[in-house]
Structure 1
Amino acid sequence: METLYSLPGCRVERVTHGCSAEVVLVGRIEGTGARCPACQMPSSSVHGSYVRRPADLPCAGHAVQLELRVRRFCCRNPECSRRTFAERPVRLLSSRARRTRRLAAAQCSVGVTTGAEAGARLLKPLAMPTSPDTLLRLIRRAPLPLPSPARVLGIDDWALRKGRTYGSILVDLEVHRVRDVLPDRSTPTVSAWLRRHPGVEVIARDRSTEYARAVALGAPDAQQVADRWHLLLNGRQTIERWLTGAHPRLRALPAVSKEDAPPARRHASFPRAHTEVRAREESRAHRIAAYEAVRRRYLAGEPLLRISRTLRLARGTVRKYAAAESFPERAARVPGASILDPYLEYLTQRHVAGCENACALWREIHAQGFHGTSRQVHRWLQTRRTTPSRFGPRRYPGGNWWSPDARPDALASPKQLAWLCTKTPSGLTSTEAATLARIEQDEEAARVVALTRRFCEVVRSRGVSHGATPTKSCWPFEAWLGEARRCGVRAVETFAEGLEQDGAAIRAALTTPWSNAQAEGQITKLKLLKRQMYGRADFDLLRHRVLLTV
């Protein structure tokens, strides 16, 4: 029995069954006396006894409750302020605790892993029931792991409330573990933490100037390493801002024919209802008014942040409107794949032959395996009729009243074009290559696309050319930097100037293996923990869970 029901410092006298199929262990504390907690004088004079009933770990799927007979002793020291005191099973129970230390540790582990609400639901069938509030108290009282000295750190920000409150996370890149979580991302907070934890030699970070200043103040001898993914992100954002301003000019360029034409598919949506068309026109009018207001204030010299607050527009929208030479129209959305696509070539041939009977066309492709309804064929044919339908609700005059083929080829949005510019040439499809060839007909666009591709190649290859010696490993980056600063495109020149200001960290990124990828992964785990707690995740509790989670 002692082996099966081991109670440190206590002896089990008998095992009984209580209510609700729980197991009750009746026992007593071993020993003949105890020491007074005030004066530390031993005593064996028993004054009385009482029973403590704490919960313990379950056994064979049954909840376990202890009935411990605890004795009170008289203190024989006349100078002691205490007359009596109770013996304490320190290894088994804490003072005034309603659960054993091992049960509290098990419940705390479940709470740290799953959260309070989910943990309480999980512990009930495991015969260790408790409330979510109790789990939160156990997590808060759990001792944090002792900090160990870190040589290589990764630092990044995370959102407690996106757009409003941000914190910082510090990750030991050598042991793959979160070192600490800070309540904000300001320079004083981060630099103070670095001064309290000396010995850091390498710090990987994003392109934030706030973190750069914090590292320079808190750990001036540490080597700063810019994250390569953020370098590619900044390059894509730069070309996207330039494309936003030049998009109206590029949209007027003629399309370039593709050698390998993709399978036939719809390139335009079906006609919308009149109410949807009217709502879209009203929305466009509001955007034009906002664009004109932003441009007027920007050309007058007003800062972008003040424009954003005055007009109640997002900072990204204000920045996009300020950089655009003319109103940036929304790019036409290309419909996704449809079950009608495999039959478009046949439908087009029949339409050219003069067939404009939608039901007849539907019956023909239905015999070929089309499983859709005739409504889809009606909507496809509606935009291609040369004469109005005899049974349609409206009669249009003769001639092609609307044809998607009469529109000029739509150009991808600036964001989509920016993604194409950052992709490797070998990874482009024929359609994507033709899109880039179309915008490269513009001389300035050709320079920007070429510089963007070279920059991405330098970052992906870490600036090391084949056959280069270690002392010349940054030559490709230096050559690109000099060319970008003299390219004549203001957006690229500004980007190159920013890279030069952060040159030491960027050169370290191209020559060292460290990056901020681990910090991004830990932030993903942090977001999961935050969302598990259903709004109870204030900073103190969230920090405990992050540091206690292995």
Structure 2
Amino acid sequence: MGLPRFGGSPALCVEPACGTGQGSRLPVKRLQSKMTSLYSIPGCHVERVARRGSAQARLTVRSESVGAQCPSCKSRSTAPHSTYVRHPTDLPCAGRPVQLELRVRRFYCRNPECSRRTFTEPVSRLLAARARRTRRLATAQCAVGMTAGAEAGARLLKPLAMPASPDTLLRLMHRAPRPAEKKPRVLGVDDWALRKGRTYGSILVDLEAHRVVDVLPDRSAPTVSQWLQRHRGVQVITRDRSSEYARAAQAGAPKAQQVADRWHLLLNGRQMVERWLTGAHARLRALPCVPKSSASPRPRRSSFPRTRSEVSAGEESRTRRLATYQEVRRRHLAGEPLLTIRRALKLARETVRKYALAEAFPERAVRRPGPSLLDPYLEHLARRQAEGCENALLLWRELRAKGYPGSSRQVHRWLQTRRAAPARSTPRARRDNRSTPTEACANSLPSPRQLAWLCVQPLSALSPTDKALLVRIEQDEEAAHVIALARRFTQLVRERGITHAAKPNPSCKAFEAWLREACTCGVRAVETFAAGLEQEGEAIRAALTTPWSNAQVEGQVTRLKFLKRQMYGRASFDLLRRRVLLAV
């Protein structure tokens, strides 16, 4: 509704602070002052407030300045020429969208030497030229778009009374200015996948300011080194063990101290043990089991019996893998490079490496069964079977009385391979082919990856079963030596001692002793790993003596992936880079 006027000037009906009656009115100047404090508009004052429809508010505003400065000759003028009205949208108020009725004046330029006859008074603090929204509304909409994305941001802005289309948000996001660049002193570098397996980029993080400095379109050494040359002053660079980043740091910031990431050191140590176990797995599998001292009941070691189709499918898969293994070994012994074998046979790089280093065909490890509803009742089932009860339905009824929630089929399958004699319902054709429980599962070993994980864990974190497994493996002299070296290395990285630079660091001395022993241990996988550590010895020593690491960079990579997936893979690299740098 319109506002009542007093003497030709607009005003509002407002109750005073100390009431003097319902009909009391506030003077125009006091009213304008209160409206300005309630809804502040940069460089303007509110003249009139009206409601447009049922959901929108309209504010009539005017510039506070008396005159204006000519944009050409810079001379000030107070001679009005005319006025016109602009209708930009502003920030909402009380959950309602707000539209301004901005009365803009034109002034005469009284400078005879100026080429302009008239000019418009500037309102740059509030509004850009030819803009349909105020600067602060555009800033708020852009912030929502940077945080949630264009499509989600458009859906979010509608209930916030700041509606905008996804295309409008994209334009605002592309026009948003980048933050002022600051020269980082401690820089973290890591790669991230724009398209996993094909396209990778680099992320640069200021570890002291805890913010992303820049995002690069690739992870090559020239790109990173050029960035470092443009941003002088980097004193510490943390990285993974990538040779590309090492060359980039050496070329772009040769005086900076490189620090290898400790998590990647632990990862590479476990991978070294896994590579050795892949070749020696067949030999270790033949080692005898170590008897357990505890008298606890044996856990379930195998899953339920597989069907005939599953067995035949497994045999066919093993035949194919065996043929591939033999072909890889033949080519490798003939001197073909692993990369050539991978391209010829169209295999994964790790598969070719595993088959080439394996002394015997690497059988698939038997999977440990997952938790089952029968696990809490295994002891009761074993005792009743030892007493001679082989009636599955009777056993199921007993378990149900104890609270077993499963069906009788699980009990039938458990009892199937443990019967002393075939059940009456077993067909005659299958009585002679009935499978019997074997100790193959008991004598089997976990996969090389699982074993490598156990080998690098502290002994205090292992269960009695895992400790017995390691004792069985350490019956092999070479295995005992490799496991001891791996455990010493991981303990050295985990329990590093940060001391003053002037004092000798015990971690460095222990590392040097470990490096000398590893380089002459006689195990190829360990010697290769130690030679790689020796090549970047300064970065490894810095990792053991300084507090810096790439842990913060990994967190920023996780944030970058989250923003990338918000855009469903359809955004350009430039937009993703802006969101990473500007998103709150």
* Range of TM-score over shorter length: over 0.9
Residue number in structure 2 paired with 1:318? 352
Matching residue's letter, 1:246: A
| Counterparts in 2 of 1:18 and 1:260: CA distance versus 1, 3 Å | farther
Residue number in structure 1 paired with 2:60? 26
| Counterparts in 2 of 1:287 and 1:37: CA distance versus 1, 3 Å | farther
Residue number in structure 2 paired with 1:412? 446
* Structure 1, gaps ≥5 residues long: none
Per-residue deviation, 1:39: 4.1
| Counterparts in 2 of 1:472 and 1:456: CA distance versus 1, 3 Å | closer
Hey, what's the Cα distance between the residues in 1 that align with 2:452 and 2:481?
Answer: 14
Check if 1:90 corresponds to 2:152.
no
Is the Cα–Cα contact under 8 Å of residues 82 and 107 in structure 2 kept in the other structure? yes
Check if 1:368 corresponds to 2:402.
yes
Residue number in structure 2 paired with 1:6? 40
Matching residue's letter, 1:379: R
Matching residue's letter, 1:317: T
Which of these two proteins has the greater Rg computed from alpha carbons? 2
Residue number in structure 2 paired with 1:298? 332
Hey, what's the Cα distance between the residues in 1 that align with 2:513 and 2:455?
Answer: 20
Matching residue's letter, 1:327: F
Per-residue deviation, 1:473: 4.2
Hey, what's the Cα distance between the residues in 1 that align with 2:131 and 2:451?
Answer: 64
| Counterparts in 2 of 1:14 and 1:341: CA distance versus 1, 3 Å | same
Residue number in structure 1 paired with 2:387? 353
**What is the CA deviation profile of residues 34-73 of structure 1, one whole-angstrom value per residue up to 9, with x for unaligned ones?**
3343444445555543321111011011111111122344
Residue number in structure 2 paired with 1:69? 103
Matching residue's letter, 2:538: A
Give the TM-score taking structure 1 as reference length: 0.94
Of 19, 39, 49, the residue aligned with 1:15 is: 49
| Counterparts in 2 of 1:329 and 1:43: CA distance versus 1, 3 Å | same
Residue number in structure 2 paired with 1:112? 146
Is the Cα–Cα contact under 8 Å of residues 190 and 214 in structure 1 kept in the other structure? yes
| Counterparts in 2 of 1:471 and 1:265: CA distance versus 1, 3 Å | closer
Residue number in structure 2 paired with 1:250? 284
| Counterparts in 2 of 1:461 and 1:82: CA distance versus 1, 3 Å | same
Alignment of 1:123-134 (within 5 A): 123-134=157-168
Per-residue deviation, 1:408: 5.1
Per-residue deviation, 1:464: 7.8
Residue number in structure 1 paired with 2:236? 202
Give the TM-score taking structure 2 as reference length: 0.89
Residue number in structure 2 paired with 1:509? 543
Residue number in structure 1 paired with 2:155? 121
Is the Cα–Cα contact under 8 Å of residues 226 and 515 in structure 1 kept in the other structure? yes
Check if 1:525 corresponds to 2:548.
no
**What is the CA deviation profile of residues 349-383 of structure 1, one whole-angstrom value per residue up to 9, with x for unaligned ones?**
22233322111111122222222211110010111
Per-residue deviation, 1:463: 6.3
| Counterparts in 2 of 1:461 and 1:354: CA distance versus 1, 3 Å | same
Q: Percent identity?
A: 68
Q: Number of residue pairs matched?
A: 548
Hey, what's the Cα distance between the residues in 1 that align with 2:53 and 2:570?
Answer: 34
Hey, what's the Cα distance between the residues in 2 that align with 1:289 and 1:77?
Answer: 94
Hey, what's the Cα distance between the residues in 2 that align with 1:182 and 1:427?
Answer: 40
Alignment of 1:138-537 (within 5 A): 138-260=172-294, 263-392=297-426, 395-397=429-431, 401-405=435-439, 409-462=443-496, 470=504, 472-537=506-571
Hey, what's the Cα distance between the residues in 2 that align with 1:248 and 1:47?
Answer: 96
| Counterparts in 2 of 1:104 and 1:403: CA distance versus 1, 3 Å | same
Taking only aligned residues, the RMSD between alpha carbons, in angstroms, comes to 2.2
Please identify, of 284-293 and 330-339, the stretch whose mean Cα deviation from structure 2 is larger: 284-293
1:301 counterpart SS class? coil
Hey, what's the Cα distance between the residues in 2 that align with 1:408 and 1:514?
Answer: 45
Per-residue deviation, 1:20: 4.8
Is the Cα–Cα contact under 8 Å of residues 463 and 475 in structure 1 kept in the other structure? no
| Counterparts in 2 of 1:500 and 1:91: CA distance versus 1, 3 Å | same
Is the Cα–Cα contact under 8 Å of residues 301 and 442 in structure 2 kept in the other structure? no
Hey, what's the Cα distance between the residues in 1 that align with 2:297 and 2:567?
Answer: 49
Is the Cα–Cα contact under 8 Å of residues 455 and 483 in structure 2 kept in the other structure? yes
* Structure 2, gaps ≥5 residues long: 1-34
1:16 counterpart SS class? strand
Please identify, of 34-43 and 354-363, the stretch whose mean Cα deviation from structure 2 is larger: 34-43
Matching residue's letter, 2:279: G
Is the Cα–Cα contact under 8 Å of residues 84 and 104 in structure 2 kept in the other structure? yes
Hey, what's the Cα distance between the residues in 2 that align with 1:161 and 1:116?
Answer: 21
Of 51, 55, 58, the residue aligned with 2:85 is: 51
Hey, what's the Cα distance between the residues in 2 that align with 1:348 and 1:191?
Answer: 67
